[in-house]
Chain A
Amino acid sequence: MVMNYPKLFQNKIVMILVLSFLVVAAFSLSILIRQEQSLKSVPMVEKKDGVIEMKKALVDGAPVFPIFPDSAIHKSYKKTVDEKMEFLVIYEVDEEVPVIVSWYNKNAAVSGWTVVQNSDFPDAKDEQILLLRNNKYNLTLVVKDNETDGKTLISTEFLPL
C-alpha cells in the first residue's frame, strides 16, 4: 500500500530535517516541563518578612519543647509565613555539642516529639543537626559551637505541618 504523502515530504532531506526538528522540540519541551515540576517541588524558603515579634525572652505561643538544663534564651522569633505561624527559639548554654544532642535524643520523646532524622555524625563537636516532629510541627534542631564566646547555641525552628 502506497501512502499519498505531500510531495514535499517525499524528499529525504526534508524528512530528516522535520524529524530532527521534532526530536529537538520534544527534548526541549520535556526538559522545560521537568524544570517546572522541579521548581514547584523545591522546599523554598522565600524572603517573606513576616516577623511579628522578636524577643530576648520566649515569644508568646512558642511550642512546648524540652529545654536543655541551664540553657538561657538568646533570642526568639514569632513569624508568619504563608499564613502559618512559625517559631524560632535560640538558646545558649555551656556544654559540648555531642552531650546536648544526646540529651535531646533521650528527652524529646517525653514531650511527644519524635526524632525523624538523627545526626549523621554524632561525634561532631562543632555542629550537629536533628530533625524532629510532633503532631503540629516539624522541628529543625541545630546545635552549634559558637566559637566567639565559647558557648553552644541551640537553634530550634518550628515549622507548622
Chain B
Amino acid sequence: MKKTFFIFVVFWVSFYFRTKVFAQTVDPVIVAGGDIVCNNLNTNYSSTTCHQKFTADTISWINPTAVLTLGDNQYPDGLLTDYYNYYDKTWGLFKNITYPSPGNHDYHTSGGSGYYSYFGERAGDPTKGYYSFDIGSWHLISLNGEIDHSTGSQQVAWLRQDLAAHNNVCTLGYWHEPRFSSGSLHGSNSGVAPLFQAMYDYKADVVLNGHDHLYERFAPQNPFGVKEESRGVREFVVGNAGKSLYSFGSYLPTSEKGYNGGYGVLKLTLHPTSYDWQLIKDDPAHTVIDSGSGTCIGAEQVSQTPTPTPTLTPTPSLTPTPTPTLTPTPTATPTPTPSQTFTPIPIGGGDACGNGNVNIEDLKCVLQNWLAKLNNSVDQFQDGRINALDFSVVLKSLKAGVTPTSMPTPTSSLTPTPTPLPELTNKITYTASSIDFANPERGFMKQSSVFVDQTLDLAKVRALQPSDTLVWIYFRLDNYRDQRDDYGVQPLTDYHGKLLDQAALNTIEKVFDTARDRGLKLVIRFVYNPGPKSSSDPLKVNPDVPLSLVLDHIEQLKPALQNNMDVIAAMQAGFVGHWGEWHSSKYLNNLESRKKITDTLLTVLPSERMILLRYPRYEQVFYGGPIPEAQAFTGTNLSRIGIHDDAFLKDDTDDGTFKSNAAGTKISTYCDNSSVGETQCWKNFVYQNSRYSPFGGEASYDNPPRTSCYSTDVSSPGAIAQMENMHWSFINNGFNTTVLNRWVDEGCMPDIRRRLGYRLEIKEAFLPEKLLPGNSLSVSVSLKNSGFASMYNFRPVYLVLQSNNNRYELKLDNIDPRKWESGKSYVINSSVNLPISVVPGTYKLALWMPDSSDSLKNKPAYSVRFANFDIWDEVLGFNILDPDILVQ
C-alpha cells in the first residue's frame, strides 16, 4: 500500500513538472493572422474594431517561433509612417521573427513601398515580394497576390520551381486573398487559382490567407473546391487578426468551421509529419475557438524516419529536458469496451502535445490523449475538436463507469406530443437537415471514358465526393467505327463488320460489377466518335458506323444491359455523332436511322429503365411528347424518354437544345406556332417532360449572368431557377469547371449539391404508441420533396420493425415515390397487418426505401435517406420513425 501510494504521488508530481515546467518538445510553433493594424492605438477591448493590441498580446502569450502576416498588415494604405506609428507598437514587437506577406492595402502605396521599407529584408526582394524558407522540417512559402500571379507569370513559375526543389514532407504557403472563402463581403477569389493549383500539384499541405475578416477552416480540397481528405490542401482564412469582422454568406461545401465572433490568431505547431492548429481568441483567457490536427500528405513515406533537427530554436532560454520514462498508473480502472484495450500512454514523445511553451494546453493535451486511449470517442460533440466540454463528458463517464458513445440518441430530436387522433396517438415531428449526403440515382457524377477494348482502370468507376453516387460512363467504341479520319488508331479494313469481341463485352460487365461493389449507379452512353478532330475530307469526316452495325452492336450489348439493369440509373441514346450527342454524324443523320436506334434501345433495355435523348425535338417527333401525367411511368415508349442537356446555360437555347431544327433541317413542327416563341416552347416541353423522366447533363462554357447562380434577367434566370424548372437530377462535376467554380464562388453550390434530384424530408408522423400482433399497423407520414426533381426509377416503400433479434418488413402497397414531385408535400396514409407471429418487445419503427432489385435491396448504399436529423441508420439503410415502439 505504501509503495503504491509513493508511485502515485511520484507520478503526479513528475506529471506536473513535465507539463508545467519542463514541457519541452522541439517542434516549432508559428502564429499567423491577416488584416491586422488600424491607424490608431486602440486600447479598448470592447471596441468592435482595431484589436491589434490584443491580438499582439495573444502572440506574446503564445511565444511563437515565427509570426506570419497574411496581408493588409497596416491599414488603411500601408504608409511607412503608419507602420512605425501603429504596427511597430503592436505586431512590430515580433518583427525579428516575422515572415510577412503583403495585402491589397499594403499596396496602396506605390509598389508597396511602406511595407517593403518597414520589413526590409524580411519581406524578400521588393520587386517580387515572394520568398521561401524552412522552419523545423517544414517548407514555408510567402507569396505576393498583389503582383502578377497568373498561370504564366514569373511568380507562379518560381513557385513551381521552389516546390519541386524542396522535398520536405510538409509544406505551407500563404498569401492574402483566399481561393475559397464563405465570407459575404469578399468570398472566394478564382484569380489566385494558379497559386492554389501549384500548391495542390506539388502536394502542399496547408494554405493560409486573410482578406475576408473572419476565421474559416476548410477540409483538404482540390483546386475545384472538392474535398480530398488524403490529397487536398487545407486552407485557413485568418482575417480576424485585428482590423474588423465581416459576416459569412453561404458556407462552401468544404468549409468545416467558421467563426466571426471575435478576433484571434492561428497557432500552428509544426511537427515533422503533421501539424496541430488552434485559433486562439484575443481575450484574457486565451480561449481556444477551434483546434485540431492534420497529417502531411507525404507523411506515410517517412513515418519511420527520425525527427529532423529544427533550423530555428523555439525558446532559446529554455533547455529541452529528456523525456521522463515514467508510466502513469491509473488509480481507477476504467471499464473498457470489449473491443478496446487500455494502454497507458507514456508521458513523453509521441503524444503530439507540447510546443516548446509552458501552458495549460499541454496539460490538457496530455490528459486528452491519455483519456482518448481509454475511449476513442472523446470528441463527444463530433465537431472536429476536443474541448473542455468533451473532456468533462469523458470524466463524467469514467466516474460513472460507463463508456460514452459518439452516437447521439435519436430521441433527442423526436418530440412526441399528444394528438387527438384515436388510433394514432403518437405525433412526432422531425427536424430537417440541411447537410449534403448521398442518395441513389441523383447528384453530381464523375464522367469517365472506358475504352472497351483496353484494360479497364477501375479508378474510372468511382465517385469524387462521399455524397456522390453516380458515375457517367462513356463506353468508347472508337476502334469499332470507321477509322478513315486520320486520327486515332490505324485504319481498319473491315470496320463495317467489326463486332464487339468478348473482351470488350467482359470489360463492360466489369464496369457494372465494379459499380455494384462500390455502391454506385451509372448513367451510360456508347460513343463511336469522340470528335471534334475530324477531317475536312467528306469521306473521312465525322466517322461513326452505318445503322446496321449500330443495331448489331446494340444486340450484342443486350445481355449486359439486361443483366446489369440494377446499377443502370439511366441510359443516354448515344452512338450517333460526336460524343454520341446526335450531331456531326457521317452515317446516322437521317431521322429513320435515329428512330430505329431509339426504338431498338427501348426494346433492349429493360422496361424499368429510361432512355435519354439529347434533344427534345426528337422525342416529340418520334413519340409525341411531352409526357402527359396520365402516361407517366406506364411503360409506353413515350413514358420512357427523358432528355440530357450537355450545353447547360451556354446560350439561350443551350447550344441548340431548345430548337426545332438540326443543321438547317426542321425536325419537329411542335413549336412552330407557339405564342411564347420557339426556344421557350421547347423549354416548356422539357419542364413538363422532366416531371416524369430524368433530366441531366453538364454545364457548358461560362456565360454570366446566364451561368450565375441567380439572375434578375427574366430570359435567363440563372442556374438555380433553370435546375428547378427542368428538374435536374444529375450533372457532371468535371465540366465546365469555370461554371462550377462560379457556383462555388457565388455560394449556390451547396444548394445545388443538396437539391439535385430528389431530397425528401419528413415533416411529421402520426404513429401508434404500441402494437398488437395480428392487428393492423397504421401510420400517417407527412413529407416534402425539396429537391429539383422526383425519382425516376421505381422503388418500394416498407415499414420495418427492427429489434436486436427480429426484423419484420411490411411493404406499403400502392405507393409510388416517383410521383413525389419537386417542391410538393405528400402524406403517406397506410395500414398494414402485423403478423400474428411478431415477437413481443421493443422495436425501432423505420421507413425503408430500398432499391427495387433483389441484388441491391439489402445494400444500404442503395436505400433512400431522408433529409432529417438523427433518423438515418446507415448500417441498416433505413429512416427511424420511432426508436422505441412496443409490441405487446
Contacts and interface: CB of A to CB of B under 8 A. Distances in A.
Interface of A: 8, 14, 17-18, 20-21, 24-25, 28, 31-32, 34-36, 38-40, 42-51, 54-57, 75, 77, 80, 88, 90, 117, 119-121, 124-129, 131, 140, 142, 144, 146-147, 153, 155, 157
Contacts of B185: 90, 142, 144, 146, 153, 155
10 closest pairs, A vs B, by CB?
Answer: A36-B388, A126-B76, A43-B261, A51-B250, A47-B258, A24-B16, A49-B251, A129-B48, A17-B9, A157-B247
A37 to B, nearest CB: 9
Given A21-B12, A49-B251, A120-B44, A42 B287 contact: yes
B246 A44 contact: no
B12 A35 contact: no
Contacts of A50: 434
B257 A47 contact: yes
Contact of B258 (A46, A127, A131): A46
Interface string B258-294: 1111100000000000000000010101011100000
Contacts of A128: 49
B349 interface: no
B9 A120 contact: no
30 contacts: A14-B6, A17-B9, A20-B16, A24-B16, A25-B12, A31-B360, A32-B391, A38-B287, A40-B389, A42-B261, A42-B262, A42-B281, A46-B257, A46-B258, A46-B259, A47-B216, A49-B435, A49-B750, A54-B249, A54-B709, A88-B249, A90-B184, A120-B49, A121-B40, A127-B243, A129-B245, A131-B48, A140-B247, A155-B184, A155-B247
Contacts of B434: 48-50, 80
A88 B387 CA distance: 30
A152 to B, nearest CB: 12
B49 A24 contact: no
Chain A contact surface mostly = mixed
A116 B517 CA distance: 60
Nearest to B363: A28
Contact of A127 (B5, B49, B360): B49
Given A35-B360, A54-B709, A21 B9 contact: yes
Interface of B: 2, 5-6, 9-10, 12-13, 16, 20, 38, 40, 42, 44, 46-50, 75-76, 104-105, 184-185, 216, 243-251, 255-262, 281, 283, 285, 287-289, 360, 363-364, 383, 387-389, 391-392, 434-435, 709-712, 747-748, 750-751
Contact of A51 (B6, B216, B243, B751): B751
B710 A54 contact: yes
B153 to A, nearest CB: 20
Nearest to A159: B247
A127 B50 CA distance: 11
A24 B184 contact: no
B246 A155 contact: yes
A77 B250 contact: yes
B710 A56 contact: yes
Contacts of A31: 360, 363
Nearest to B708: A56
Nearest to A22: B12
Given A47-B258, A155-B184, A120 B76 contact: no
B326 to A, nearest CB: 14
Contacts of B48: 117, 119-120, 129, 131
A75 B712 CA distance: 12
A39 B287 contact: yes
Contacts of A129: 48-49, 244-245
A50 B432 CA distance: 11
B477 to A, nearest CB: 43
B184 A121 contact: no
B364 A32 contact: yes
Given A46-B257, A144-B185, A51 B13 contact: no
A11 to B, nearest CB: 10
Given A28-B363, A54-B747, A142 B387 contact: no
Contact of A39 (B9, B10, B389): B389
B388 A35 contact: yes
Given A24-B13, A128-B49, 4 more contacts: A35-B285, A35-B287, A47-B256, A117-B46
Nearest to B388: A36
Nearest to A17: B9
Contact of B12 (A24, A48, A88, A142): A24
Contacts of A77: 184, 249-250
A43 B15 CA distance: 34
Contacts of A28: 360, 363
A47 B251 contact: yes
Residue of A45, A48, A50, A147 ringed by the most chain B CB atoms within 10 A: A45
A120 B751 contact: no
Nearest to B705: A56
Contact of B47 (A54, A120, A125): A120
Contact of B750 (A18, A21, A51, A125): A51
Nearest to B384: A47
A45 B260 contact: yes
A38 B747 contact: no
B709 to A, nearest CB: 7
B221 to A, nearest CB: 15
Contacts of B709: 54
A33 B261 CA distance: 22
Contacts of B10: 17
Nearest to B16: A24
Contact of A121 (B38, B255, B281, B710): B38
Contact of A17 (B13, B250, B281, B285): B13
B647 to A, nearest CB: 25
B524 to A, nearest CB: 33
Contacts of B6: 14
A121 B246 contact: no
B177 to A, nearest CB: 11
Contact of B49 (A36, A39, A121): A121
A125 B748 CA distance: 32
A157 to B, nearest CB: 5
Nearest to B46: A117
Contacts of A35: 285, 287-288, 360, 364, 388
B503 to A, nearest CB: 47
Contacts of B75: 126-127
Nearest to A117: B48
B287 A51 contact: no
B250 A49 contact: yes
B247 A142 contact: yes
A55 B258 contact: no
B631 to A, nearest CB: 35
A145 to B, nearest CB: 8
Contacts of B255: 47, 49
B356 to A, nearest CB: 20
A100 to B, nearest CB: 15
A1 B476 CA distance: 99
Contacts of A25: 12
Contacts of B750: 49, 51
Contacts of B383: 46
Contacts of B249: 51, 54, 75, 77, 88
A43 B747 CA distance: 24
A140 B248 CA distance: 12
Contacts of A17: 9-10, 13
A54 B360 contact: no
A21 B13 contact: yes
A51 B256 CA distance: 15
Contacts of A48: 251, 434
Contact of B261 (A21, A45, A88, A144): A45
Nearest to B104: A147
A153 B186 CA distance: 11
B184 A88 contact: yes
Nearest to B720: A54
B13 A57 contact: no
Contacts of A38: 283, 285, 287
